[in-house]
A and B are shown apart, each in its own frame.
Chain A
Amino acid sequence: MTLVVDSYVERDSWLHMWEPRCKLIGLMSLVFAFAFVQDLWLLLPMLLVTITLYKISKLPISFLLQRLRYPSFFLLGIVALLPFFSGRTIIWQWGWLSIYREGCESVVLIASRFFSVLTIALILTGTTPFLTLLQTLRSLGLSPILTDMTLLTYRYLHDIAGNFATMRTAMRLRGGDRRGQPWFHWQLLPQFAILTGTLLIRSYEQSERVYQAMRLRGYGLPKQSGSPEPAHGRGSFIALGVSLVVAAGFVLVGHGGWGR
């Protein structure tokens, strides 16, 4: 089963071959360490680590740019006003309009952290097959209910979205769902509500068939034997150790106040 999120998991970089549990712990510790960064001088090392890891992952730049696009607009909407309202030290003024140094620094800090955290998260999800990621989370103690729900939701997301699109087309062909018109119609609300209600009913009925099929295949019964543990190369543990040291370094240096 090839999943949409698994577009680049077949590559042969070292990060692709890193043992999934070590990779998850190592990269997530870096992600949280970067979230701890508060000092501007730590941004350069943080960006260097991020870019180096992305380079090692052999993931294409277009993949990163595509994934950065939407959240960047959202982030811009939140922080765009900070330079004009946040801070005391004026660095530029024109009439009532002022730009503050502290606000600009906040924007640089947030944007850099956002880029680094998102890129490292992308390396994790881009170099690990989705199913392996879920198995890894389960092996680290995540509830089976949560992992099964995630897997099934992902499995049926495209099916249900396809059903929904077909239902909307049918509705439009019968004169409903006038989304093309640029104004709001009160009629839209009950139309869309009934469409949503019908989708919920269809999904519910489908879920009953899915559950029966799963039961027939032994779902819910105790497992006969566990799957063998993947082999852990020494390199995976060394890489995990390096990641943890780097992450601890960012947290300790940032909170120790060095370099201020």
Chain B
Amino acid sequence: MHVPDGILPAPICLAGFGFTSLTAWFCLRTINRSPEPTQGIPKAALLTAAFFSASLVHIPIPPASVHFVLNGLLGVVLGYYAFLAILVGLFLQAVMFGHGGLTTLGINALIMGVPALIAYFVFRLGDRFPKTFSRRLITGLLAFLAGALGVGLATVLFFSVILFNLPSDLNAEAERAALATLVISHLPLIGLEGIFTAIVVLFLERVKPELLRNPWSKAAS
């Protein structure tokens, strides 16, 4: 789900860099306000590498195979570091493999990173539920929502950016219909990623709960 170089007009690429800089600045400011900002750097970096590796695994869904985007899970685990992690991951992909691109780095970071931040905020809603609710049920439900929202929003943003910026003479109605068709065709994958995120989060909750409640990935209160 990366926009390659050459497709988007330069003003869109520059606007992408502008909004990405603003979002990265907001995340960095929040991280710098935490008690020990440097503590989170190696953790975020190694977890970014782990997400990078895990997202390359393909699951067979005939007639093709798919791989998970994992931006929702990244948001849940890394918090404010998630946007920076995605920026770093996209930069490395562009430099190492030529996936995505350097001019589209800003737009791609927004497409993947903003849904990751939204997924983080959705998952954190669990802190507001009273203790009377089943903790496991709430965690699983919010993790599902975070995972599905992460990839769902990224899908909508990606196809919107592509369809509305192609130098074509397609009419607006055709573009909207194409967008709706493409998003609907991805609904099973969005559901699958939601289920996958919920299973991973419930596993982490049972085995290493501190990974989900790290002070280094949250804003200093």
Contacts and interface: CB of A to CB of B under 8 A. Distances in A.
Contact of A32 (B13, B96, B97): B13
Nearest to B214: A204
Main secondary structure of the interface of B (DSSP, over half): helix
Given A149-B45, A208-B43, A201 B208 contact: yes
B46 A206 contact: yes
B162 A78 contact: yes
A117 interface: yes
Contacts, number: 239
Interface stretch (B112-120, B130-138, B199-207): B199-207
A74 B47 contact: no
B44 A118 contact: no
B13 A214 contact: no
A28 interface: yes
Contact of A146 (B49, B60, B73, B87): B87
A75 B7 contact: yes
B46 to A, nearest CB: 4
Interface residues of A, number: 85
B46 A160 contact: yes
A190 to B, nearest CB: 5
Contacts of A106: 166-168
A240 interface: no
Contact of A203 (B32, B49, B85, B162): B49
Contact of A75 (B6, B32, B87, B170): B6
Contacts of B141: none
Nearest to A142: B24
A149 B49 CA distance: 10
Interface in A77-135: 78-79, 82, 85-88, 100, 102-103, 106, 109-118, 121-122, 125, 130, 133
B187 interface: no
Interface in A43-90: 67-68, 70-71, 74-75, 78-79, 82, 85-88
Given A145-B84, A146-B84, A192-B59, A130 B200 contact: no
B50 interface: yes
B179 to A, nearest CB: 14
Contacts of A150: 45, 88, 91-92
19 contacts: A32-B13, A74-B2, A86-B167, A102-B169, A106-B167, A114-B4, A117-B102, A145-B84, A146-B88, A149-B41, A149-B48, A153-B85, A156-B45, A164-B54, A189-B199, A200-B47, A200-B50, A204-B47, A214-B42
Interchain residue pairs A-B with the least CB separation, the first 10 = A114-B6, A152-B45, A86-B168, A113-B6, A193-B199, A117-B5, A35-B10, A197-B203, A207-B46, A203-B50
Interface of B: 2, 4-10, 13-14, 24, 28, 31-32, 37-39, 41-54, 57-62, 70, 73, 77, 81, 84-85, 87-89, 91-92, 94-99, 101-103, 162, 166-170, 174, 192, 195-196, 199-200, 203-204, 207-208, 211
